[in-house]
């Protein structure tokens, strides 16, 4: 009886082994179909449309480089590209500077796991209000007669209102940093929370002071969190158009704003060119960030 | 031998729990000291207090004659080897070992060549040659243990605290590392304080064995004394080689649940609660009708099971009150006897072999 069972099992085994990879591949099918229909195909379409011929009111499928040449010779478009890159870099640095200490506190100095979760949820609270209300709430705060200027003037720190606070690049940066900071805090706090406290104690025991330990142990071990956070923030900031439209009074034009305007005036080919440029920029940024840390090794 | 570390009535409380209730201790230089205690006895707390990761609630710690209980851990100069090794996962073996030399606040070594030379020396001392460039995630448990030890030793501490250093290793490796730890310590000439929950490990390794019991030092003596003359019933229980009886002393005899045992000539050891202890290997098993000598004590019990461990066999008997009585017979003297299941036997020992606490 038992001999037969053994024989059966050994015969069954190769069959099972052959079948399993094929079966497992079916699990990918829904994702692959969905993504090719609604992501890959539209993107290829966008690349294709960017070479179409654009006239004032119509667009024809005659291939031409005209839209591309216009984009790269126009000061407006190149300026928007440069503004996008500049604001992205500033917001990225600002979110790290504001987010890292917060994450350090939550992930490393708060020992209670429940309290850790509560504090992380606190970071998400800004998202409980709608985007529009949140952005509009900045106006009475930053405006010429807004709260910050009133306080500064009443305290006698400034004589005249600081006009650069609202409808400027600064207000866009302030608003974006506030909104996207949480995407930086989360991944960093997660990585810091995973550092074994005995590792830090070991470094202490070997004679290192706090800043030494921070530079040689804590920072390197939390880098994957910084990179993941940076990818989140970068992808969102590079694609932004709403915050800049609402807080800059249309003075700051990002690539996203260009695309919205072009689509609004039916300039599909231009919009497609800007879209392709933006996508390539995002791809390059993500690829560069992934080179900083080998995420496969760390996570 | 001079005293390296002295603790004076150290106390530590967590909430309502007293982890350490008045530890007094003086550790000599250049010695291997093992600290034995059941889990929850406060041994890890004691180690963490000495290293400075925890602040004691009261008492004083003197290291080399200077008070250190207010000094930050990174300025104490006491090495700590963690149970889980706590190696820096992003650094290689050599970088882990060099960490303390390069990064310490007090007197860091900046000369690359000096660092390299000292790392090389310590690597050969602990037997890690050839693995310098490996990531610490790519080496075995025993090798990680050596890295942890080398990382501490290279900073030349006057004293090294080891928190269950062999706990994470498999049995084979543990036996090998015991001898090696002792050899490495002798070559360095520093004091090792080795915390363990295993009585065999504590007895095998320590020049001095400290037994910690509910936040107090219950005994501090050499292995032989601890094993043969445990200072209290609690120490005897924890050594895991004594049958213990509760009861009281009455007219030259110990009266307990298992009967009346006549006392030998030696005076009882002082203890908080009276107890009677007889070592597993001092008891012999005989048929019920066998005669006993005048100086012998005899009880009856039913055989339950036995456990064969190569050099010895441990037999378990159930006393009439249901408690288990263990007998260890060494097989170098005789072939293992087979006892009948549930059979009733006489368990006999000499009066003088028993330890009496009163």
pLDDT for residue A145 = 83
pLDDT band at B358 (very low <50, low <70, confident <90, very high): confident
Task: Note whether A196 contacts B: Cβ–Cβ < 8 A.
Answer: yes
pLDDT for residue A13 = 47
| B165, B180 contact by CB (below 8 A) | no
Task: Give B18-39 pLDDT, tens digit per residue.
Answer: 888 888 988 888 899 999 988 8
- The stretch A261-290 carries a mean pLDDT of 91
Please give the mean pLDDT across all residues of chain A: 86
Which of A199, A207, A209 faces B86 most closely, judged by CB atoms?
A199
For residue B50, what is the nearest residue in chain A, using CA coordinates? A205
Half-sphere exposure of B191 (CA within 13 A, CB side): 21
Q: Which helix (H) or strand (E) holds B253?
A: strand B253-256
User: 10 Å Cβ neighbour count for B319?
Assistant: 18
Beta bridge partners of B45: none
Q: Report whether pLDDT(B88) > 50.
A: yes
pLDDT band at A141 (very low <50, low <70, confident <90, very high): confident
What is the third-level CATH fold of B3-228?
Rossmann fold (3.40.50)
User: 10 Å Cβ neighbour count for A1?
Assistant: 5
pLDDT for residue A18 = 54
Task: Give A27-48 pLDDT, tens digit per residue.
Answer: 999 999 999 999 999 999 999 9
pLDDT band at B79 (very low <50, low <70, confident <90, very high): very high
Give contacts of A 208-247 with B, CB under 8 A: 208-209, 212-213, 216-217, 220-221
Q: Is B219 helix (H, G, I), strand (E, B) or coil?
A: strand
pLDDT band at A12 (very low <50, low <70, confident <90, very high): very low
Q: Is B63 helix (H, G, I), strand (E, B) or coil?
A: strand
Which of A196, A204, A220 faces B73 most closely, judged by CB atoms?
A204
- For A65, phi then psi, to 5°, come to -95, 5
pLDDT band at A19 (very low <50, low <70, confident <90, very high): low
Q: How many residues does chain A have?
A: 299
pLDDT for residue B142 = 86
- The stretch B203-229 carries a mean pLDDT of 90
Please give the mean pLDDT across all residues of chain B: 88
Q: How is domain B241-357 classified at the architecture level of CATH? A: Beta Barrel (2.40)
Chain B residues within an 8 Å CB radius of A293: none
pLDDT for residue B280 = 92
pLDDT for residue A111 = 82
Q: Report whether pLDDT(A160) > 50.
A: yes
- The stretch A242-267 carries a mean pLDDT of 87
Q: Report whether pLDDT(A8) > 50.
A: no
**Closest by alpha carbon to A189, among A107, A120, A122?**
A107
Q: Report whether pLDDT(B161) > 90.
A: yes
pLDDT band at A1 (very low <50, low <70, confident <90, very high): very low
Smallest Cα distance from B139 to chain A, Å: 16
Q: Report whether pLDDT(A200) > 70.
A: yes
Residue of B53, B74, B122, B145 to mutate for A, most A C-beta atoms under 10 A: B74
pLDDT for residue A299 = 56
Instruction: Supply A73's token pair.
Output: 């010779």
**Closest by alpha carbon to B195, among B18, B35, B53?**
B35
For residue A221, what is the nearest residue in chain B, using CA coordinates? B90
Q: Is B218 helix (H, G, I), strand (E, B) or coil?
A: strand
Least confident of A107-111, A254-258, B298-302, B345-349: A107-111
Q: Is A50 helix (H, G, I), strand (E, B) or coil?
A: coil
CA separation (Å) from B301 to B12, B245, B282, B347? 45, 14, 16, 7
Question: How many Å apart are CA A194 and CA A206, to the nearest integer?
Answer: 21
Domain layout of chain B by residue ranges: 3-228, 241-357
ipTM metric: 0.81
- The stretch B313-335 carries a mean pLDDT of 87
Fill in the DSSP letter of residue B337: P
Smallest Cα distance from A99 to chain B, Å: 23
Q: Print the SS3 string covering B10-52.
A: EEEEECCEEEEEEEEEEEECCCEEEEECCCCCCHHHHHHHHHC
Task: Give B273-291 pLDDT, tens digit per residue.
Answer: 889 999 998 998 988 888 8
pLDDT for residue B87 = 94
Question: How many Å apart are CA B86 and CA B165, to the nearest integer?
Answer: 11
| Helical spans, DSSP H, in chain A | 2-25, 29-35, 41-49, 66-73, 75-104, 113-124, 131-142, 147-154, 169-193, 197-205, 210-213, 219-238, 242-248, 255-264, 268-292, 295-298
- The stretch B205-231 carries a mean pLDDT of 90
CA separation (Å) from A125 to A120, A128, A173, A178, B322? 9, 5, 20, 11, 63
pLDDT for residue B127 = 85
Instruction: Supply B358's token pair.
Output: 């009163």
Q: Report whether pLDDT(A3) > 80.
A: no
Which of B79, B84, B90 faces A205 most closely, judged by CB atoms?
B79
pLDDT for residue A55 = 82
Question: How many Å apart are CA A70 and CA A73, to the nearest integer?
Answer: 5
Chain A residues within an 8 Å CB radius of B99: 203, 206, 208, 216
Q: Report whether pLDDT(B346) > 50.
A: yes
Q: Is A141 helix (H, G, I), strand (E, B) or coil?
A: helix
Chain A residues within an 8 Å CB radius of B80: 201-202, 205
Q: Report whether pLDDT(A277) > 80.
A: yes
Smallest Cα distance from B333 to chain A, Å: 44
- The stretch B213-236 carries a mean pLDDT of 90
pLDDT for residue A248 = 84
User: Which domains, ranges and CATH numbers included, belong to chain A?
Assistant: 66-298 (1.10.3720.10)
pLDDT for residue A11 = 46
Expressed in angstroms, the distance from the first to the final Cα of chain B is 34
Identify which has the larger pLDDT, B159 or B2. Answer: B159
pLDDT for residue A9 = 45
Smallest Cα distance from A208 to chain B, Å: 4
Question: How many Å apart are CA A188 and CA A224, to the nearest integer?
Answer: 8
pLDDT for residue B96 = 95
Fill in the DSSP letter of residue A38: I
Which of B53, B90, B155 faces A201 most closely, judged by CB atoms?
B53
pLDDT for residue A164 = 80
Q: Report whether pLDDT(B1) > 80.
A: no
Q: Print the SS3 string covering A235-270.
A: HHHHCCCHHHHHHHCCCCCCHHHHHHHHHHCCCHHH
Q: Report whether pLDDT(A123) > 50.
A: yes
DSSP string, B131-186: -TTSBGGGS-HHHHHHHHHHHHHTT--SEEEEESTTTTS-HHHHHHHHHHHHHHHH
Locus of tokens 């004589």: A159
pLDDT for residue B252 = 80
Query: Cβ of A206 and B75 within 8 Å?
Result: no
Chain B residues within an 8 Å CB radius of A217: 88
Smallest Cα distance from B213 to chain A, Å: 25
Q: Report whether pLDDT(A15) > 60.
A: no
């Amino acid at each position: 009886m038992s001999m037969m069972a053994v024989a059966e099992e050994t015969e069954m085994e190769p069959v099972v082994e052959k079948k399993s990879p094929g079966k497992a591949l079916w699990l990918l099918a829904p994702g692959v179909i969905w993504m090719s229909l609604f992501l890959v195909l539209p993107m290829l379409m966008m690349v294709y449309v960017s070479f179409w011929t654009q006239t004032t009111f119509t667009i024809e499928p005659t291939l031409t480089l005209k839209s591309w040449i216009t984009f790269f010779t126009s000061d407006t478009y190149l300026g928007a590209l440069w503004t996008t890159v500049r604001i992205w870099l500033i917001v990225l640095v600002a979110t790290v500077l504001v987010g890292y200490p917060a994450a350090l506190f939550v992930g490393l100095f708060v020992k209670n796991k429940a309290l850790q979760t509560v504090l992380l949820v606190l970071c998400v609270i800004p998202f409980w209000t709608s985007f529009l209300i949140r952005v509009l709430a900045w106006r009475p705060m930053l405006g010429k007669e807004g709260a910050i200027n009133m306080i500064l003037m009443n305290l006698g720190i400034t004589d005249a209102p600081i006009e650069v606070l609202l409808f400027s690049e600064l207000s866009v940066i302030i608003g974006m940093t506030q909104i996207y900071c949480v995407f930086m805090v989360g991944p960093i706090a997660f990585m810091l929370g995973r550092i074994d406290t005995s590792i830090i104690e070991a470094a202490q025991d070997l004679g290192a002071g706090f800043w030494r330990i921070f530079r040689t142990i804590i920072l390197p071990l939390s880098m994957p969190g910084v990179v993941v956070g940076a990818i989140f923030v970068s992808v969102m900031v590079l694609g932004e158009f709403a915050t800049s439209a609402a807080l800059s009074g249309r003075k700051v034009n990002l690539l996203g704003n260009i695309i919205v305007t072009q689509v609004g005036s039916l300039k599909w080919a231009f919009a497609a060119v800007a879209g392709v440029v933006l996508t390539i920029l995002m791809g390059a940024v993500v690829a560069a960030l992934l080179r900083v840390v080998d995420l496969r090794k760390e996570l | 031998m001079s005293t390296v570390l002295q603790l004076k009535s150290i106390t530590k409380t967590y909430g309502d729990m007293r982890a350490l209730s008045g530890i007094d201790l003086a550790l000599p230089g250049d010695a291997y000291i093992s600290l034995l205690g059941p889990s929850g006895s406060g041994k890890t707390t004691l180690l963490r207090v000495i290293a400075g990761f925890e602040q004691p609630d009261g008492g004083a710690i003197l290291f080399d004659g200077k008070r250190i209980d207010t000094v930050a851990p990174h300025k104490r100069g006491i090495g700590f080897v963690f149970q889980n090794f706590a190696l820096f996962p992003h650094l290689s073996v050599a970088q882990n070992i060099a960490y303390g030399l390069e990064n310490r606040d007090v007197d860091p070594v900046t000369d690359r060549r000096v660092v390299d030379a000292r790392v090389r020396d310590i690597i050969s001392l602990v037997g890690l040659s050839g693995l310098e460039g490996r990531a610490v995630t790519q080496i075995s448990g025993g090798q990680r243990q050596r890295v942890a030890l080398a990382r501490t030793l290279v900073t030349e501490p006057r004293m090294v605290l080891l928190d269950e250093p062999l706990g994470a290793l498999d049995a084979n490796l543990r036996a090998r590392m015991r001898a090696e730890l002792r050899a490495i310590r002798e070559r360095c000439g520093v004091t090792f304080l080795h915390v363990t929950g295993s009585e065999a490990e504590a007895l095998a390794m320590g020049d001095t064995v400290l037994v910690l019991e509910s936040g107090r030092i219950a005994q501090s003596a050499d292995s032989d004394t601890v094993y043969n003359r445990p200072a209290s019933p609690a120490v005897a229980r924890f050594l895991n080689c004594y049958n213990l009886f509760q009861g009281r002393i009455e007219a030259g005899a110990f009266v307990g649940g298992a009967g009346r045992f006549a006392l030998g000539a030696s005076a009882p050891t002082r203890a908080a609660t009276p107890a009677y202890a007889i070592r597993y290997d001092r008891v012999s098993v005989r048929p019920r009708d066998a005669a006993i000598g005048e100086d012998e004590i005899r009880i009856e019990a039913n055989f339950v099971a036995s456990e064969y461990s190569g050099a010895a066999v441990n037999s378990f008997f159930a006393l009439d009150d249901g408690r288990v009585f263990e007998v260890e017979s060494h097989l170098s003297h005789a072939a293992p006897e087979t006892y009948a299941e549930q059979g009733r036997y006489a368990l006999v020992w000499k009066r003088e072999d028993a330890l009496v606490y009163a």
